[in-house]
Amino acid sequence: MVKLNENFLNLKESYLFSEIAKRVNAFIAENPDKSVIRLGIGDVTLPLADMVIKNLHDAVDEMSKAETFKGYGPEQGYDFLRDAIKQYYKRNKVELDIDEIFVSDGAKSDTGNITDLFSLDNTVMVPDPVYPVYVDTNTMNGRKIIYMDATAENNFLPLPDSNVHADIIYLCSPNNPTGAVYNREDLKKWVDYALDNNSIILFDSAYECFISDETLPRSIYEIEDAKKCAIEFCSLSKTAGFTGTRCGYTIVPKSLKFKVSDKTEISVNKMWLRRQTTKFNGVAYIIQRAAAAVFSEDGIKEAKKMINIYRENAKIISQTMEKKNIRYFGGINSPYIWFECPNKMESWEFFDYMLNKIAVVGTPGAGFGKNGQNFFRLTSFNNKENTIEAMKRFEQI
Ligand code: MLT
């Protein structure tokens, strides 16, 4: 008889954003006349930039001719895109070898898929609140997960505790959901902790493009020795509006090596390559051409323009929080505004209250962990008009 993976019984019944979608759809069905504004899931609204569209069209044309048609590509991505990513990192003074770069369909998949490389008896450490994918994927595998408190007291940026041992540490900076960003000094503390404990850091930098403060690190590899202890995940979803187009990249340094039980050293880069060549057939050529356009000089300019529009929205939301005297975090080097629910409301209660009273959707902090119980997340990814309207309504509550 087939035996199912009973670790799934330890998951919440549905994924956070599926639960939100369910509640919003039920509300719309009951209130077809209400215009609902979505500031919930971090999904972009601006269309793809001109450079990206042009490259998509050109790549489609190539697929129409026998001479330029492409079948299976390299599982780890075409060199033209990996080289473009390498050059992008150079801007932050990070030198990568092309075979340390793995093109993927996004950071969400890879932060989950990477768990294939690790034994089930590792202890995983995540901040609370946390992007639920890290917790759910490790729960599916049955790994032990320990939580470090991210609270207003530590500015939602927990630091390592030398008395607590973890083998795998997930960090996300700029953080989803809180918008908090580690500075170099604090990120160095994590790198030192990982080196001292023979641990690995899984660093999610999907929101790096929102960093405007140039003193803040956009990649963990800006920190000395991080290549010995960290894998970095990034995505074009937020950088260039690829949430529906799907393209990301994962950096697995060649200097990342750990001893196994027979005392030999194994390269994590080689393991990931082996995993990807077995389980993944790569991102579509057409999409990789579009992604490469994002990293050209003009592409970067176009992406910046988009990000600035979302930054303006973040400002509009932050100003409303200030006007209403609500304590908030994020919104500067991040597209997310994380705030305390008014009147000490519980976050799902506040979610229902906002939806019913002003038809604005956000994300309840409790969906990210117990420390989010009385917090709420809004995104700046809607358009300006809707953001202004949502905040006008918000002022009424
Ligand atoms: C979010 O809203 O937290 C993100 O959009 C989810 C994701 O990137 O998968």
CA–CA dist 361, 262 (Å, integer): 53
- Which atom of ligand 1 is least distant from the CA of 206? 8
- Answer whether residue 210 is part of any domain: yes
- Residue 98 shares a structural domain with residue 243: yes
Output the pLDDT for position 366: 96
Which atom of ligand 1 is found nearest the CA of 238?
A: 8
Residues 174 and 99 reside in one and the same domain: yes
Q: pLDDT tens, 19-74? A: 999 999 999 999 999 999 999 999 999 999 999 999 999 999 999 999 999 999 99
Nearest-10 Cα torsion for 89, 218, 159, 329: -160
Looking at the structure, do residues 121 and 265 belong to the same domain, yes or no?
A: yes
* d(CA 206, ligand 1 centre) in Å: 10
Torsion over CA of 316, 322, 325 and 330, rounded to 10 degrees?
80
The pLDDT of residue 107 is 97
pLDDT tops 90 at residue 14: no
CATH code for the domain of 364: 3.90.1150.10
pLDDT digits (tens, 9 = 90+) for 156-208: 999 999 999 999 999 999 999 999 999 999 999 999 999 999 999 999 999 99
pLDDT tens by residue, 333-373: 999 999 999 999 999 999 999 999 999 999 999 999 999 99
Average pLDDT, integer, range 380-393: 98
Cα gap 240→187, rounded to integer Å:
26
Give me 168's structure tokens: 């795998």
The CATH number given to whatever domain includes residue 276 is 3.40.640.10
Average pLDDT estimate for 239-263 = 97
Is the pLDDT at 314 greater than 90? The verdict is yes
The model's pTM? 0.96
**Does residue 273 share a domain with residue 159?**
yes
Given a cut of 90, whether residue 231 has pLDDT beyond it is yes
Section 278-295 average pLDDT? 98
**Quick check: bond before 174 cis, omega within 30?**
yes
**What does the alpha-carbon distance between residue 37 and residue 386 come to, in Å, rounded to a whole number?**
7
The answer to whether the CB of 321 falls within 8 A of the CB of 142 is no
Question: Do the Cβ atoms of 147 and 123 come closer than 8 Å?
Answer: no
Domain end: 243, 260, 295, which one?
Answer: 295
Q: Which residues line ligand 1 (CB under 6 A)?
A: 41-43, 108, 176
For 269-334, list the strands marked E by DSSP.
328-330
3, part of any domain: no
Distance 215 CA to ligand 1 centre (A): 26
**Structure tokens of 320?**
């409303």
Are both 162 and 79 inside the same structural domain? yes
Q: What share of the chain is helix, strand, coil (3-state, %, to 5)?
A: 45, 15, 40
Range of the domain at 38: 15-44+298-394
Res 15 pLDDT > 90:
no
